[in-house]
Amino acid sequence: MTRSLALSALILCAPAFAAPDAPAAPSDPAAAPTTPQAEPIAAPAPATSGRNVIFFHPDGMGLNTWTAARLHTVGPDGTLAWDQLPHVGIYRGHMKDSLVASSNGAATIHAYGVKVPAKSYGMHGRKPLTAASGFKGSVAEEAIAKGIAVGVVNTGHIAEPGTGCFLASVEARSQADEIAKQVIRSGATVILSGGEQFLLPAGTAGTHGFGTRNDDLNLIEEARELGYTVVFSRDELLALKPTPETKLLGVFAHGHTFNDQPHADLKSAQLPLYAPEAPTIAEMTQVALDVLSQHTQGFLLIAEEEATDNFGNANNPNGVLEAAARSDKAIATASQFIDNQPNTLLLVASDSDAGGLQLLTIAPPSPFAFKPGSKIPQRTANGTTLHGVDGSGSTPFESKPDAQGNSMYFGLAFATRADLPSGLLVRAKGANAESLPLNFDNTDIYHMIHNTLFDLPEAEEAPASSDTAAPATTPER
């Protein structure tokens, strides 16, 4: 490797669906982190007698992305919340017809426990799908049918498949209007996302822009008629005082709550990485837990940080680092909840690695060493663009200090704009986490959720703090 370039792998994955109408931001908003300083702090939730499951999906985050997030957020000797989850497996994410997962195909497998073609969205291609348990619906739909509260949280729009496939079944991912309708009518207790455009008829003015639906349905008004409290901003969300009767719909953007474009494009347009009036994934997760934990029979929460994927596909390293840091805060929120509610399982997994992000550095005593104020090369030795804080050829990114108080410097490069299948881990904490297999097939997301919710003894009979293992079986319906 020329000029002693040290390479450490780092990867990401993403679809591209931009968030229009994002507000302008102060000077160089595309480079500056936008995570709000205040995080919601809730009182301990009421104890649930049933089992709870939190499935967190930091989309597009491979092992290399977590490495970069650690260096940038807490330093090489620091520990992320993700690092502290005690159970680890190697995630295998192939589809029925593809070695690389699609977002909608993988989410369908997570929701049903059955291998499907890559183009599936809550179906087996274009055919109805029965879950591995024999239930004619997803694990979330089975939970709702059994009186267990369900919540979905996404920084993307409401039709994003990481959460949408648990509540909707369509023949094509492009059917966003139909997906949104099915999600609103699913019976879920909590729905938090962007995507106001898919909830309003074309031309109807909303809080974040105009509707784009091709029918006359106003799903926001329908949600109110179904008993949902509807909120449109971070401030409104954090002001909520949930009760056992609360049903919550949050609509925080016209499309996504982030602007998934390359760094240079965001800088030119004076757009921030995230819409500042939208809540973070950690804040949405906290409020969702506050609402769902009012239901003492147990709950299922599916939460997704979509921006980690989309910024990776856009080859925007600043966006990836910010979205990764936000993902880790959401994991910390869920992990803290389990400390108070040990009858809860937390599963964290991504189905692919977006963009093939790689971390490079040149260390002293090389005369080309990356250091404060220096300019990194515009390209690596093989011609790949090397990104610094302000794009190619700019100053390097800086790690947080190591145990000796020293910061180090690095650049980031992407291998592709596509999704990749390598370097994926699944991690777990809490009830039933010890049953996590070392070699973890993507169908095992479903089995872990299903077993924890439906197949284990009541929480008081099997102390969840012991992480008691359970076999990966699915009962007769």
| Separation of alpha carbons 307 and 313, rounded Å | 10
| Separation of alpha carbons 229 and 224, rounded Å | 6
Q: Which amino acid is at 359?
A: L
Q: Are 312 and 65 a contacting pair, CB within 8 Å?
A: yes
Contacts of 41-45 with CB under 8 Å at 24 or more apart are 42/286, 42/289, 42/290, 44/340, 45/289, 45/290, 45/293, 45/294, 45/337, 45/340, 45/341
| Separation of alpha carbons 233 and 192, rounded Å | 11
| 351 annotated binding-site participant | yes
Q: How far is CA 4 from CA 309, 362, 398, 448, in A?
A: 30, 6, 19, 45
Helices 317-340 and 281-292 cross at an angle (nearest 10°) of 20
| 265 annotated binding-site participant | no
CA 267 to chain CA mean position, Å: 25
| Separation of alpha carbons 392 and 376, rounded Å | 8
Query: Which of 189, 266, 258 is closest to 229 using CA atoms?
Result: 189
Q: Are 298 and 457 a contacting pair, CB within 8 Å?
A: no
| Separation of alpha carbons 193 and 167, rounded Å | 14
- 232's CB contacts (< 8 A; 6+ apart) are 196, 207, 208, 250, 251, 252
Cα angle for residues 68, 73, 77 (degrees, 5° grid): 80
Share of the chain residues as helix, strand and coil, in percent rounded to the nearest 5:
25, 20, 50
Helices 63-73 and 317-340 cross at an angle (nearest 10°) of 90
Task: Give the N- to C-terminal CA distance of the chain in Å, as an integer.
Answer: 58
Per the annotation, the verdict on 120 as an active-site residue is no
Catalytic residue among 102, 103, 394, 399: 103
CA 258 to chain CA mean position, Å: 13
Residue list, annotated binding site for Mg(2+) = 59, 304
Active site amino acids = 103
Residue list, annotated binding site = 59, 304, 309, 351
Residue list, annotated binding site for Zn(2+) = 59, 309, 351
